[in-house]
Structure 1
């Protein structure tokens, strides 16, 4: 968890404590507030100490119970301010994968140049519909989310229209391991690999493959996307990070350029993908 994020969470906790202590009807103890809200006593102190992230519902209940209903707008703004950088999958996927894809589509639509690094899966903007469907199903099972797979796939396929608009450029780097990963049935993977071969040479796509045996100047860590040098979106198991400060964008750009030095392109990339395709057993 980033220091800035934790500091913002602690500042929100301090404000919650202030509201509790300044209740118009008289100072409330943590125990009293927990009883009013029907919460475990520990939740009060986790929120005030910045050890737990409040939900909008938590903030509304807190503001009302402490006699400061007008403070909710301020509290919610604080929450949105630091959650704009770390977006938990639990919250993002509460309504399914489609809203997340719609949010991505907006940012991609604003972009002219995108750089992507994926070490475990084929980049979403290069996926076939069948491959994307299996990816969404796997994550829905993991996160226990709303199964809106077909809608999510349609949204992801719509985003690929960006690839056919002049003046745009996707610079995609993929670790060879992602090409072998059978997160879908072999026939689906074979079709996906064929799709990648067909994209090589497309004027809006620059596809590089980092071979498994290539020397790596840095470890192949989690996937990330850089949109127009203004926004980085990186994924982890618990959350998606949206980073727009210059230092963070610069760090990810250096990571991307370092990984790029290990990649092969053009005919070398085609031969590598074709070799992986031949190794897939279409059982």
Structure 2
């Protein structure tokens, strides 16, 4: 978790503590407030000390229980201001995959140029429906999401229309591990690799592969997308990070350019993909 994020969470906690101490009907202790809300006492302490991120529902309940419901818009704005950068998978996927996928699709539509790095999975813009289904299902099982998998597959497929529009460019780097990870049955991966081969000659795609044997100047980890000059979307196990400050955008572009120095393109990339297909033994 970033220092800026934690500082903002602690500042929100301090504001919550202030509201508890200045109730119109008299100061409430943490335990008294917890009882009013039906919460464990530890939750009040965690929220006030920045050790837990409040939900909008938590903030509304806090404002009402402390007799100050009119401060809820302020609290919600504070939360939105720092949580917009770190989107918890569990919270974002509470209503299934569709809302989250639609948000990313909208940002991609706004972009004419995208830089992508993926270390363990074929990028979504290049996934076949069957491959996408297996990838999304794995995440659904991990995070306990029970709905929206098929909606997410369809949304991901429609998103790929971006690649067929004039004036668009996807500059994609993939580590060889993504070509060999059996997140799906071998036959599905084989079809996926065949599709990658077909994309090597597309005008809107610049696809590079970083082979296992290539020397690298930076650890090939942490997949991310840079959308134009305005946004970075990076994934971790607990959350998706949306970073829109100039320093982070410049940093991620520097990482991408450094990784590109180790990549192969054209016929050399074709050779690496075909080597991965042969290893599957499906042909």
Answer whether TM exceeds 0.5 for this pair.
yes
**Residue aligned with 2:75, SS:** helix
5 Å-filtered alignment, 1:118-267, equals: 118-267=118-267
5 Å-filtered alignment, 1:62-141, equals: 62-141=62-141
* Rounded Cα–Cα distance in structure 2 between residues aligned with 1:245 and 1:150: 34
Q: 1:35 aligns to what?
A: 35
- Answering whether residue 278 of structure 2 is matched by residue 278 of structure 1, we say yes
* Rounded Cα–Cα distance in structure 2 between residues aligned with 1:75 and 1:237: 27
* Rounded Cα–Cα distance in structure 1 between residues aligned with 2:187 and 2:161: 25
* Rounded Cα–Cα distance in structure 1 between residues aligned with 2:67 and 2:100: 35
* Rounded Cα–Cα distance in structure 1 between residues aligned with 2:174 and 2:202: 17
Which residues of structure 1 form unaligned runs of 5+? none
Q: CA RMSD in A?
A: 0.9
* Rounded Cα–Cα distance in structure 2 between residues aligned with 1:147 and 1:63: 33
TM-score, length of structure 2 as denominator length: 0.99
**Residue aligned with 2:94, SS:** helix
- Answering whether residue 46 of structure 2 is matched by residue 46 of structure 1, we say yes
1:151-192 superposed Cα distances (whole Å, 9 cap, x missing partner): 101100111000000000000000001100000011100000
* Rounded Cα–Cα distance in structure 2 between residues aligned with 1:282 and 1:64: 62
**Residue aligned with 1:25, SS:** coil
1:96 Cα deviation from its structure 2 partner = 1.0
1:150 Cα deviation from its structure 2 partner = 1.1
CA contact (8 A) 1:235 1:241 kept: yes
**Residue aligned with 2:122, SS:** coil
Q: 1:16 aligns to what?
A: 16
1:146 Cα deviation from its structure 2 partner = 2.6
1:212-266 superposed Cα distances (whole Å, 9 cap, x missing partner): 0100100011100000021000000000000010111111011000000000000
**Residue aligned with 1:208, SS:** strand
TM-score, length of structure 1 as denominator length: 0.99
Which residues of structure 2 form unaligned runs of 5+? none
* Rounded Cα–Cα distance in structure 1 between residues aligned with 2:170 and 2:218: 22
**Residue aligned with 1:73, SS:** helix
Equivalent residues, number? 283
